[in-house]
Structure 1
Amino acid sequence: MAAKDGVGKYGERVAARYLLDAGMVLLERNWRCPEGEVDIIARDADTLVFCEVKTRSGDSHGTPADAVTPTKVARLRRLAKRWLAVTQLSTVEVRFDVVCVRPRRSGPATVEHLRGAF
């Protein structure tokens, strides 16, 4: 496994724990279909939340949120429609969040949760 993949998996674990601790219910992790993957699908009270998790160990490539490009936004919206069609949920409120994770040399990672990011 490439170091980048390991950092990403770590970030997804941290994000999942953060969302659970915030009272959200995780419905899916790494949901895949032929068009791509959604990192986390969760329920926040009556709202269905599609989460993109971005982990960066440094700022040389920008902040974690900078990695959520318009192309990624469009992809996640298409994947959300696909998931809703597969699960046959159509009358739910949907939100798109970004969870930014920054590992630290010591101590827990820092997490920034951008609700309704796009």
Structure 2
Amino acid sequence: MTARTQALGRYGEDAAARHLAAAGLTVLDRNWRCRAGELDIVALDGDTLAVCEVKTRSEHGFQSPAEAVDPVKAEQLVRLAERWLAERWQAPPPPGGVRIDVLCVVHGRRGAARIHHLPGAVG
């Protein structure tokens, strides 16, 4: 991964975290890692735990950010969400359950990023 790609990813994750907070979600964890992979953002949406995968693309990308979450990635996110709950959640599962969201961030040449939040996109 190039430095430019890493910077774009960080930009997208920061923008997504701000977007979630502005929408009333409480960000609990960011960039949680284990041997099996990484969760970009874990947030609480009322009584529902939202595990959020952030996909960022530049304005000139050929693929929609959401297309990057294929069935293999979706299964990995489910396993990582289960592991996060087992390791980090200190109570019974949240009453609203767990959902896996995708946040599509498109970075243009000018202005703020365009963010499309897809709640429950995986599962």
Q: Aligned pair 1:110/2:114, yes or no?
A: yes
CA RMSD, 1 decimal: 1.1
Shift of 1:88: 4.4
Q: Which runs of at least 4 in structure 1 moved beyond 6 Å after TM superposition? A: none
- Give the TM-score taking structure 2 as reference length: 0.91
Q: Kindly report which structure 2 residues correspond to 1:71-86, keeping only aligned pairs within 5 A, or say none.
A: 71-86=72-87
Q: What residue in structure 2 maps to residue 96 of structure 1?
A: 100
- Give the TM-score taking structure 1 as reference length: 0.94
Stretches of structure 1 that go unaligned for 5 or more consecutive residues are none
Q: Kindly report which structure 2 residues correspond to 1:1-118, keeping only aligned pairs within 5 A, or say none.
A: 2-57=3-58, 58-60=60-62, 62-86=63-87, 87-92=89-94, 93-118=97-122
1: CA distance, partners of 2:86 / 2:23: 27
Shift of 1:2: 1.5
Kindly indicate whether the alpha-carbon contact (under 8 Å) linking 1:84 and 1:90 is maintained by their aligned counterparts in 2. no
2: CA distance, partners of 1:76 / 1:90: 20
